[in-house]
Structure 1
Amino acid sequence: MTTRLSARAAIASVADPGSFAELAAPERESRPDGPLGWDGYDDSRARAAARTGERESVVTGTARVGGRETALISFEFGFLGGSLGERTGDRLEAAYAHARAHRLPLLSLIATGGSRMQEGMPALTQLQRVARQSALTRAAGLPQIAVLRDPTTGGGWATLGAGADIVLALPGAQVGFAGSRVRPADADPAAYTAEGQYAAGHVDAVVPAGDLARTVGDWLRLLGSPHAGPADAPAALADVPPPATGWEAVRQARHPERPRALAYLDAYFDLRLPLSGDRAGGTDPGMLCGFGLRAGRAVAYAAQCGTATRPAGYRTAARVIRLADRLGVPVLTLIDTPGAANDAAAEHAGAGAAIADTFAALASATVPVTTLLIGEGGSGGALALAAPGNTWVTPDSYFSVIAPELAAAILKRPADQAAATADQLRLRPQDLVDLGVARGIVPAKPPTP
């Protein structure tokens, strides 16, 4: 299987030919049979070394990946199951430190069964060392990309894997905190796969082995591109005049053939890579998030797709906004929702907390955020993605404190009064500009010659 490559073969599968340079291993003087005096441990290490040609379960170094200099960590599963011991921790710590010292992104190619039993608790505490190094690298504003090979379990998944900014996985890889020999006997095996973790919002993309080098290279290219200054607002994709009435604005925004988020993103970006999932067990197909290149500049995006946004969608948007803020990348948000999902499942999933967290992520962002309202702007569920002072609108959009039908119902008006209520709400694009809610109405994109 391609997911069971050796550590060096995994490096070769993504690195530019001949570019890998191994870091010197900071080998400590070890005690016979490790800290526990585990009978036969030294012999096991010797057999693993003879079988793999490695002295430890990780290989570290630097290489060009897609032309970008990158710090690399690659696990050798053939060496005691890619397990983490004290010497492994030494190598990992040195790799993180090298990445920070040379301002390099960090790419981890993971294949591990967890912490090394033969070293007991000293092995387990290496996870604290890794977590510390990851936190320092995060604070330094350097991106961390993880590729989950087969298997990625235990502490390796819970630190280098799940703790990375961008998590990619190879198809069919076993991924989970619990390894195959320790999980419940009746557990659904699909939950412990790359595909299962992707569906649950813990993996950003499952990438075929043949596409891995290109995908990682694209991520490094994107995150290494210039990103100073705010994103420009996209042009409107529908060449229509501003609506004459509030109800006309509502009807235009709800028209089934109106351009949606996907069309706007495709027209705006030259290269776009998605991020998926809220890292809390959920995904929302109605919220598209990721990073893209616009005229050679990196821009992060969070875009609603016209559906009621679910808690997982808000949490994913907040995750991307915070990641962009830490990496210094400007943000573009596209608003298009009748409102936040308000069914019982959404309430159980923490709709209020998720919306509040999105408001907080935008409010605390130090990078510029640009917002374009491209369709419906339904109450606080839409406002959570709006940049204060830098929100623009298309001519086929509306923004309202509440949908006019619901406003009429609350005011105990007949249903046929919804249109008149829409006028009173002053929700048209030009009204939003007059009220100071929006900076302006974006013009339509010129036709392609």
Structure 2
Amino acid sequence: MAPKLSAHEILDLVLDPGSHRSWDVAPVEVPVGPAYRADLDGARERTGLDESVITGEGTIAGRRVAVIACEFGFLAGSIGVAAAERIVTAVERATAERLPLLASPTSGGTRMQEGTVAFVQMVKIAAAVTVHKAAKLPYLVYLRHPTTGGVFASWGSLGQVTVAEPGALVGFLGPRVYQALYGESFPEGVQTSENLYANGVIDGVVAPDLLRDLLTRALLVLTGEADPWTGPPADTAALPDVPAWQSVTSSRRTDRPGIRQLLQHAATDQVPLSGTGQGETDKTVLISLARFGGQPCVLFGQDRSGQSPQNTMGPGALREARRAMKLAEELGIPLVTVIDTLGASLSKEAEERGLAPEIARCLADLVTLDTPTVSVLLGQGTGGGALALLPADRVLCAQNGWLAPLPPEGASAIVHRDTAHAPDMAQSQGIRSLDLLRDGVIDAIIPEHPDAADEPVEFSIRVGEAIARELATLRGQPADLLTADRASRYRRLGLPR
């Protein structure tokens, strides 16, 4: 582990040179005894700071941001009444001035010398951060070594994007306290930034010298600024009338491009996120901040490269989807969902962890989401796992994409008691793109020339352009109108026109 970075060192790494401006005033006075006074005086002499946290503003790539950073050298970065008041004042000022906020904690938690009154300060810090986010403003967190206790359990865990320093000790109960309370060491390798990332608690592990680049890209998306759309118009050429089964077999080609190729060839300013933030992650899905054609969005979709008949999406994947929905709504930026699934997991574990209720919650959240939405049926669209990501203001479908309650073989088994009639079921159920367009399930078809697997780069770019075109059209429309139109659309779906 590298030497601990000071508060000023981390700000020097991320802010434009010379742009930092302090917001700090003299700390509020709290009652202190002689021993605590000596501790404070010693900390001030060692660090040159008057408290364990510094606040202020600066710029990142010319963009004004508010900053809060802990100083571990000041009484282990602990938070008492004065430090908490400084943090809350800074958060409130960032909210009032509508600034993105970067917080970089490193702390042993609550300041023990101040007891319970220091402990409950975490409530007002969490409340101020929540108000900031409710104002649709970014709150980004960089956890430094070490971050534990009430700091990690409050403002250290509320970021819309949360990353940590490599090798950092990050956890709720510090290992020294655990040892003292239980007489044994805490298990090795649990309270590390890498382990929390692997388990979907934080979004990534980022070296300090790479943090500025990540923040620059994140702010380009999270601030919601969009470029004028100047791309090509939609392709309105007639599409070939191919059998539905041909689309099914095309969608199952192992070399068909998926969401990763879409990001690689058509997106910019990407910031990959991970997991639910609550200890779950599912390798069959992907979540990222991204821009398509200058249009920012939160992208969530099913990753065909992470799926197999033995590994299909479970409840955790849908909870990740709901995290993406909440993030888009919090920030007032569009959500793009990508459907490309063999189907949801059929297992004891999936049932017991609430697969069906999570599908229902995704549907409810998407239909009522207070931000523009675009859904892309990129390939296979099997069952409830596909339906959970479908409702949107605009629904696009690849030429060989399809949507069905079951794979055609499953439908055949129900109706004909065999799988031999799968091609007939695919045709009769109206699952292919042309049928979905006719029935009003989708709004537009993205052509394949003649098959996405034969032109992966060109197809991915075409999908990205289609997404950007729709986002630019939806941008600026009143949220209440969007949600009303969305509800009306699905209320009428399937009724005689």
Per the normalisation by structure 2, the TM-score is 0.84
Equivalent-residue separation in structure 2 for 1:74 and 1:357 (angstroms) = 37
Shift of 1:56: 0.7
Shift of 1:297: 2.7
**1:10-42 CA distance string (max 9 Å, x none):** 111111111111113252233232xxxxx6111
Q: Residue type of the partner of 2:431?
A: L
Q: Residue type of the partner of 2:410?
A: L
Shift of 1:317: 1.6
Q: What is residue 194 of structure 2 aligned with on the other side?
A: 195
Whether the 8 Å contact between 2:290 and 2:298 is mirrored in structure 1 is yes
Equivalent-residue separation in structure 1 for 2:173 and 2:22 (angstroms) = 31
Aligned in 2, Cα 1:68/1:2: closer, same or farther, shift over 3 Å? farther
Q: What is residue 280 of structure 2 aligned with on the other side?
A: 282
Q: For 1:292, what is the secondary structure of its paired residue?
A: strand
Whether the 8 Å contact between 2:217 and 2:270 is mirrored in structure 1 is no
Residue 94 in structure 1 maps to residue 89 in structure 2: yes
Equivalent-residue separation in structure 1 for 2:405 and 2:20 (angstroms) = 56
Shift of 1:443: 2.8
Q: What is residue 4 of structure 2 aligned with on the other side?
A: 4
Equivalent-residue separation in structure 2 for 1:262 and 1:240 (angstroms) = 28
Whether the 8 Å contact between 2:78 and 2:107 is mirrored in structure 1 is yes
Shift of 1:189: 2.4
**1:112-132 CA distance string (max 9 Å, x none):** 000011100000011011111
Q: Residue type of the partner of 1:219?
A: A
Residue 390 in structure 1 maps to residue 385 in structure 2: no
Aligned in 2, Cα 1:363/1:49: closer, same or farther, shift over 3 Å? same
Equivalent-residue separation in structure 1 for 2:117 and 2:373 (angstroms) = 45
Aligned in 2, Cα 1:91/1:65: closer, same or farther, shift over 3 Å? same
Q: What is residue 31 of structure 1 aligned with on the other side?
A: 31
Residue 271 in structure 1 maps to residue 269 in structure 2: yes
Equivalent-residue separation in structure 1 for 2:460 and 2:152 (angstroms) = 48
Q: For 2:316, what is the secondary structure of its paired residue?
A: helix
Q: What is residue 326 of structure 2 aligned with on the other side?
A: 322
Quote the sequence identity (%): 34
Residue 292 in structure 1 maps to residue 296 in structure 2: no
Shift of 1:319: 0.9
Aligned in 2, Cα 1:47/1:124: closer, same or farther, shift over 3 Å? same
Q: What is residue 259 of structure 2 aligned with on the other side?
A: 261
Q: What is residue 168 of structure 1 aligned with on the other side?
A: 163
Q: What is residue 36 of structure 1 aligned with on the other side?
A: none
Equivalent-residue separation in structure 2 for 1:294 and 1:26 (angstroms) = 46
Q: For 1:220, what is the secondary structure of its paired residue?
A: helix
Residue 20 in structure 1 maps to residue 20 in structure 2: yes
Q: Residue type of the partner of 1:67?
A: G
Q: What is residue 146 of structure 1 aligned with on the other side?
A: 141
Q: Residue type of the partner of 2:331?
A: L
Out of 60, 77, 80, which is 2:75 matched to?
A: 80
Out of 358, 362, 366, which is 1:362 matched to?
A: 366
Superposition map of 1:30-429 within 5 A: 30-33=30-33, 40-183=35-178, 185=184, 187-227=186-226, 242=240, 244-306=242-304, 307=307, 308-388=312-392, 390-429=394-433
Shift of 1:437: 0.9
**1:113-169 CA distance string (max 9 Å, x none):** 000111000000110111110111011111100001000111111112211111011
Shift of 1:111: 0.4
Equivalent-residue separation in structure 2 for 1:286 and 1:101 (angstroms) = 40
Per the normalisation by structure 1, the TM-score is 0.92
Gap regions ≥5 residues in structure 1: 34-38
Aligned in 2, Cα 1:311/1:447: closer, same or farther, shift over 3 Å? closer
Whether the 8 Å contact between 1:240 and 1:395 is mirrored in structure 2 is no
Shift of 1:258: 1.2
Shift of 1:346: 2.0
Q: For 1:190, what is the secondary structure of its paired residue?
A: coil
Aligned in 2, Cα 1:318/1:93: closer, same or farther, shift over 3 Å? same
Whether the 8 Å contact between 2:363 and 2:391 is mirrored in structure 1 is no
Equivalent-residue separation in structure 2 for 1:381 and 1:262 (angstroms) = 19
Shift of 1:410: 2.1
